Amino acid sequence: MPIGPYQSPLAFISDAELDAHHASQLVEYQEASPQPAGLKLRGVEKRFGDNQVLRGIDLDVPAGQFVAIVGKSGCGKSTLLRLLVGLDEPTGGRIDFVDDAGRAVEPNSRIVFQEPRLLPWFSVVDNVAVGLGDGVPKAFGRREAERALAGVQLSEKAKDWPSKLSGGQRQRVALARALVSRPGLLALDEPLGALDALTRLGMQDLVTDVWRELGFTAVLVTHDVAEAVHLADRVIVLDEGRISLDLEIPRDRPRRHGDPALAEIEGKLLDTILGKA
């Protein structure tokens, strides 16, 4: 068959060669998987016009730690998360990402919001693959997306449309989309806030499981102090743009709901947030 002038160069490569090429790309991609990114914040400020929202945040988060941020509505929690994942820039101070030895690392940050923000014209698995960005071979992208979906126990929904899923399932897809690229830092902004109480408890366990398995640094913003105490290694209270309390949660996992020691920590946090401490 004569070869026309517009024939793709790939037509000269055998299927086996193409597979080998994709496999080498996957190896590179896996080797490039980031390690957990520790955080180093120094004097971080954020101002919107006259509104000084963050007033000098100093914070060190070791790589792989699970931190929860709580505080009154409007105190700057989402603003801080947006700065951490690079969706906005601080107006003062600096944010560095470091490994355990203090060396600078690329964080490969991802964020999960309260709403899943799925693309309705993409299947579930393709929505997850979106999290890999451009330039990943399609077959491998799909395989990675399927792996991430299995991680959130949603393999059987891979081919469905998002509109066919429950709210909790959609949020699991959003979590898989955030995790598929193996982030070094995962920010979660009220990710369970729209779920009913029972679904929420199940999702808390799921978040704990994927964090323990994948080892990323997690920063969770939540209104629910019990959730913060149940999930995090450490809870930070933000008040008027500053850290007013930074509390370790010295409990092993798995943690039991109703543990009296956790309830006591929860009470202390609530007192601080409500200004009674």
Rule CB under 5 A: which residues touch Mg ion?
Answer: 78
197-214 and 167-179 helices, crossing angle to 10°: 10
Which range in 10-18, 68-76, 119-127, 167-175 contacts ligand ATP by CB under 6 A? 68-76
Distance, in Å, from the CA atom of 83 to the CA atom of 73, rounded to the nearest integer, reads 18
Residue 50 as a binder of ligand ATP (CB under 6 A): the answer is no
Residue 74 as a binder of ligand ATP (CB under 6 A): the answer is yes
Query: How does DSSP classify residue 37?
Result: -
Distance, in Å, from the CA atom of 179 to the CA atom of 146, rounded to the nearest integer, reads 12
Distance, in Å, from the CA atom of 177 to the CA atom of 261, rounded to the nearest integer, reads 35
Least distance in angstroms from the C-beta of 29 to ligand ATP = 34
Distance, in Å, from the CA atom of 132 to the CA atom of 141, rounded to the nearest integer, reads 7
Instruction: Please pick, from the candidates 37, 70, 75, 192, the single residue that binds ligand ATP as defined by CB under 6 A.
Output: 75
The position carrying tokens 């709403």 is 115
SS3 per-residue string spanning 66-82: EEEEECCCCCCHHHHHH
Closer CB to Mg ion, 70 or 179, in the complex: 70
Least distance in angstroms from the C-beta of 218 to ligand ATP = 17
Instruction: Please pick, from the candidates 35, 41, 77, 269, the single residue that binds ligand ATP as defined by CB under 6 A.
Output: 77
Distance, in Å, from the CA atom of 99 to the CA atom of 95, rounded to the nearest integer, reads 14
Least distance in angstroms from the C-beta of 174 to Mg ion = 16
- 3-state secondary structure (DSSP) of residue 273: helix
Number of residues that bind ligand ATP (CB under 6 A): 11
Closer CB to ligand ATP, 48 or 212, in the complex: 48
Pick one of Mg ion, ligand ATP, none as the site partner of residue 74 (Cβ within 5 to 8 A by kind): ligand ATP
Residue 76 as a binder of ligand ATP (CB under 6 A): the answer is yes
Name residues whose C-beta falls within 8 Å of residue 65's C-beta, 6 or more positions apart in sequence: 38, 217, 218, 233, 234
Closer CB to ligand ATP, 79 or 108, in the complex: 79
Instruction: Please pick, from the candidates 1, 3, 10, 73, the single residue that binds ligand ATP as defined by CB under 6 A.
Output: 73
Residues in contact with ligand ATP by the rule CB under 6 A: 48, 51, 53, 71, 73-79
